[in-house]
Chain A
Amino acid sequence: MSGREVDLQAANRRTIRRLLWVVAGMFGFVFALVPLYDVFCDITGLNGKTADGPAEAVMVEPDLSRTVTVEFVASVNENMPWDFRPTRVRMQVHPGKMYRTSFVARNRTGQTMVGQAIPSVTPGLAATHFRKTECFCFTEQKFEPGEERDMPLLFMVDPALPEEIEEVTLAYTFFDKNKLLN
């Protein structure tokens, strides 16, 4: 083998090594995007995701001069055989004041089932200003056959909610946790 060919082989190997690093790096980057995406959504409140756990009950001066309409939507995922509805569809609330409402769910089947409610707030920018101190969505809900239950929700709309938002929709979707485990 001539010197030029040896040089070429070394150069090729060096280039391949670098390119393989890029491939490995990009493959890792996709998986790194998952937590990054969550962090990004948490910080910016994009995507209508609310906090996973209860918000601290803070005492703020209620802004009685401002009224915000809060609407509640309840639905079940795919073929989940539960009934699910809000007890009140619409509420007029003052930012900074704590309110209580509830949702009713019923397991129509003859089996014990576990469900998980996933919240979503529209408009997305309102998500970080929607403080839930108590919610059935923080934990999995186990329902006996035919059981019907009233599940409370304690919430407050933050006075820091941008001025232009007059209506906030909170939507819950119940997912079948059993199906996920199977």
Chain B
Amino acid sequence: MSTETTHDDHHGPARGLSRWVFTTNHKDIGTLYLLFSLLMFIVGGAMAMVIRAELFQPGLQFVEPQFFNSMTTMHALIMIFGAVMPGFVGLANWLVPMMIGAPDMALPRMNNWSFWILPFAFTMLLSTLFMDGGAPAGGWTMYPPLVMQTGNAFPFLIFSVHLMGISSIMGAINIVVTIVNMRAPGMTLMKMPLFVWTWLITAYLLIAVMPVLAGSVTMLLTDRYFGTSFFDAAGGGDPVMFQHIFWFFGHPEVYIMILPAFGIVSQIIPTFARKRLFGYSSMVYATSSIAFLSFIVWAHHMFTVGMPLTGELFFMYATMMIAVPTGVKVFNWVSTMWKGSMTFETPMLFAVGFVVMFTIGGFSGLMLAITPVDFQYHDTYFVVAHFHYVLVTGAVFSLMAAAYYWMPKWTGNMYDEKLGKLHFWLSTIFVNVLFFPQHFLGLAGMPRRIPDYSTQFTEFNQISSIGGFAFGLTQLLFVYIVYKTIKGGEKATDRVWEGAEGLEWTLSSPPPYHSFTTAPEVK
């Protein structure tokens, strides 16, 4: 009898809250990750609204400078570790097993853990907002000696970063093991969908650099509480060393946030261009090259610390070299669209928007890579504009594209196409109103991370703030669209899109709770 009960458990989800708390199902965990990511996107976005409200006018209007600095710091930590990374991990959980014909992730129990650590990590981080001395305000990069001035929030900051790191490492190990060992017969490496490829490489990057972040924040912790002097000059340490170690993690981290986006776009564009992806193998090699190069360019974040000429030159050329594989990718996407019979459903709109606007961010990155020019741009709004183009119109737009593209598969319901298009156009218009003027602010010399500014920057800041509020509001529309799609809507077909290729489209919409329990044959 008891075996009978256990047997039943394997067929459908448990009911109620315990389904979500104890689940080991990759689809459930994927959903949890994605919803968590959306929640953090709203929380981090609300902080950005505080920043833009304060910067609407010169002078101090709404918040204290200390709180303003907390907002920039927390906004970055939450968006990077809470919104973008869990968003991609959620997609990997949902899609990797379905794309390679595996029944589930390789380590389902660990999968549950790697998700459920995150709410604790972010509760800890967000609780610092209510502590003596305020939330961390020294910037998400946690540079000493400034970060040492953090009040009671300091250990909470360090341990929440540790938890995020542990979660990412476990998630990454799970993804690598799944992809390496659990592909369906016939699914050779070079037949894998590009999303799986980019995630495989991303997971390796995570495994390599998250321990580096963990180590560097551990050093901060011991410097503060246990009398070590890793970064304290008085005891023979060196604060610049933190910057080297941090960016040795930080630069690969940047690619952790964009490689899965490349994968998503490489899935979507062929579908709506109704052509095979142009240059599949060159895409794989380009992704690997970007991953390799990410380890030897870290010091371009710190050109102004006083490096010798040879160092500056090496990091400048190495950085510029990244434009080559990235260019290969952009040209491949364009070539895929070339002479395709294209249609522009919402996912395609976001994907094409990604290609155009990510490239703008790429070009401003090239400008920043030029050492002598970087001396002027360093720590100005030009840098802010650059990384928001690659992260918002890059990573976040790809997440939106992915949500629209696969949501009919996940829920079985089509999203509202009209609202989806409206969401895209409002987002695209206002994200440019928001971030494009910041290029000009940076070139004119406005420093980042300040609550007040010189009056000549007022107009561009006002334009930027208006764009910011409108972009923020538009995202509430996205929340509504997601809600509406989950609730119901026109039933989606199994293949959903006319031009969709891949194993996940051979399953029903929504897919059964346990899919590919017998491996499919891949020809």
Contact = CB atoms under 8 A, between A and B. Distances in A.
Interface in A21-49: 22-24, 26-27, 29-31, 33-34, 37-38, 41, 44, 46-49
Interface of A: 8, 11-12, 15-16, 19-20, 22-24, 26-27, 29-31, 33-34, 37-38, 41, 44, 46-49, 52, 77, 116, 118, 122, 124-125, 173, 175-177, 180-181
A73 B269 CA distance: 60
B232 A180 contact: yes
B233 interface: yes
B236 to A, nearest CB: 7
A26 B227 CA distance: 24
Interface in B139-186: 169, 173, 176-177, 180-182
Contact of A15 (B181, B211, B235): B181
Where chain A touches its partner, the secondary structure class is helix
Find the residue from B227, B230, B238 having the highest chain A CB count within 10 A.
Answer: B238
Contacts, number: 93
A180 B229 contact: yes
19 contacts: A11-B180, A12-B177, A19-B207, A20-B173, A23-B173, A23-B211, A26-B208, A26-B215, A29-B211, A29-B212, A30-B211, A30-B215, A30-B245, A34-B219, A52-B236, A77-B234, A122-B306, A124-B306, A173-B233
A48 B306 CA distance: 9
Contact of B106 (A12, A33, A48): A12
Contacts of B47: none
Contact of B107 (A12, A24, A48): A12
Nearest to A30: B215
Give the interface size class of chain B: 35 or more
Nearest to B169: A23
Given A47-B240, A77-B234, A180-B234, A30 B216 contact: yes
Interface in B66-95: none
B209 interface: yes
Nearest to A125: B308
Given A19-B177, A47-B238, A118-B233, A180 B227 contact: yes
A181 B227 CA distance: 7
B244 interface: yes
B108 to A, nearest CB: 11
A24 to B, nearest CB: 8
B520 to A, nearest CB: 15
B131 interface: no
B473 interface: no
Nearest to B234: A175
Contacts of A124: 306, 308
Given A26-B209, A26-B211, 4 more contacts: A15-B181, A16-B177, A27-B211, A30-B219
Nearest to B235: A180
A36 to B, nearest CB: 10
Nearest to B106: A12
A34 B209 contact: no
Contacts of B233: 77, 118, 173, 175
A124 B312 CA distance: 14
Find the residue from B173, B219, B244 having the highest chain A CB count within 10 A.
Answer: B173
Contacts of A29: 211-212, 215
Find the residue from A23, A27, A181 having the highest chain B CB count within 10 A.
Answer: A23
Interface in B300-314: 306-308, 311
B173 A16 contact: yes
Contacts of A27: 211-212, 214-215
Contacts of B60: none
A19 B206 CA distance: 11
Contacts of B230: 34
B241 interface: yes
A29 B244 CA distance: 13
B492 to A, nearest CB: 32
Interface string B181-211: 1100000000000000000000000011111
Nearest to A38: B238
Nearest to A120: B233
Contacts of B241: 33-34, 37
A117 B233 CA distance: 9
Q: Which 7 A-B pairs have the closest CB atoms?
A: A30-B215, A175-B234, A27-B211, A26-B211, A11-B181, A15-B177, A19-B173
Nearest to A175: B234
A174 to B, nearest CB: 9
Contacts of A47: 238, 240, 306
Contacts of B180: 11, 15
Contacts of B235: 116, 180
Given A30-B212, A118-B234, A180-B229, A37 B244 contact: yes
A181 B232 CA distance: 12
Find the residue from A8, A38, A118 having the highest chain B CB count within 10 A.
Answer: A118
A46 B435 CA distance: 38
B238 A19 contact: no
